[in-house]
Amino acid sequence: MQRAEAARSALLTSLPDAHVDLLHLDVGSAQSVLAAAQEVKARYNRIDFLYLNAGIMPNPQLNVKAFFKGLFSRNVINMFATAEGLLTQQDLLNSDGLQEVFATNLFGHFLLIRELEPLLCEADHASRIVWTSSSNARRSAFSMEDIQHRNGTEPYSSSKYASDMLSLALNRHKNSQGLFSSVICPGLVMTNLTYGILPSFFWTIIMPIMWLIRIFTNTFTLTPYNGAEALHWLFLQKPESLDPRAKYHSLTSGLGTNYTQPHPMDIDEGMSEDLYSELLELEKVVRKILSERNADKEANGQRE
């Protein structure tokens, strides 16, 4: 909340007439999601835009040998852009018994959407969902037999590919109710998440190389401001004009010009529908667990 207060103060400094509300929400906790959604429904009677930007990549492990091999190869740009073959993560279970990355990057957002449907799905009013995905979202990292990626080592990539598929399914099910979903990729952005992948001295060595490579590629947006280009661009578009099968990429030219470009997503419609059904079933299970947990708390409180 301290970071949120600081962001709010900065916004109000540049836009003093704006109205900025804060809300505490941990998308990695189903209980927090449901509580926050109730507060949103108490405060507002509609939602125009819902930006789903929160995500985690816990305990990233770098394949150092593959990194240095790729650094001096023709594949260097794709290596930095996608991190394919470079990163693995050690995932944990959260308090709801779900894999933490899956819960935070995908399921918590899905549960939030479901809970806010009364404000999002109005036939006479278009609402928009915008997912922040990644160039690291790869079909090869995802399995319908293991949607939480319990048995894999790339939960981040799996969760981001799943969010791409979920966006497509949401459009298929909810467009007729006035809800439209889009996906963006911010490009390679240097954030706390990125810096946490390597020791600081590595970045001191690598950053000059990355700025040099940026002259020859448009995917190295590098700064959060540049990476947010597609988020802003989508805000200005009519939802009916957007392609539900496209991922909208933030791009920065070698001269520093920002622009947005759609790229087709490698998604199977049948698989996206299966994922949507699986998430609906998981939602029922999680709600039942939370209900039983709350009932136990009330019973214990009465005994006390």
- Per-residue pLDDT of 153-176, as tens digits, reads 899 999 999 999 999 999 999 999
Strands 60-62 and 87-89: antiparallel
Is residue 82 within 8 A of residue 136, CB to CB? The reply is yes
How confident is the model at residue 78, as a pLDDT? Answer: 65
CA distances from 76 to 64, 72, 264 (A): 14, 7, 23
Q: How far apart are CA 104 and CA 26, in angstroms?
A: 8
How confident is the model at residue 80, as a pLDDT? Answer: 63
Q: DSSP 3-state assignment of 93?
A: strand
- Give pTM, 2 decimals: 0.88
How confident is the model at residue 64, as a pLDDT? Answer: 66
How confident is the model at residue 208, as a pLDDT? Answer: 82
Give me the half-sphere count of Cα atoms (radius 13 Å) on the Cβ side of residue 68: 4
Would you please indicate which residues are annotated as catalytic (active-site) residues?
Answer: 156
Task: Report the chain (304 residues): mean pLDDT per 10 consecutive residues.
Answer: 96 96 96 97 96 87 69 66 69 93 97 97 92 91 96 92 98 96 92 73 76 79 92 96 96 91 95 98 95 80 58
How confident is the model at residue 89, as a pLDDT? Answer: 78
How confident is the model at residue 194, as a pLDDT? Answer: 74
Angle between helical axes of 155-174 and 269-303 (0-180°, round to 10): 100
How confident is the model at residue 296, as a pLDDT? Answer: 76
Q: How far apart are CA 54 and CA 58, in angstroms?
A: 13
How confident is the model at residue 68, as a pLDDT? Answer: 67
Is residue 119 within 8 A of residue 46, CB to CB? The reply is yes
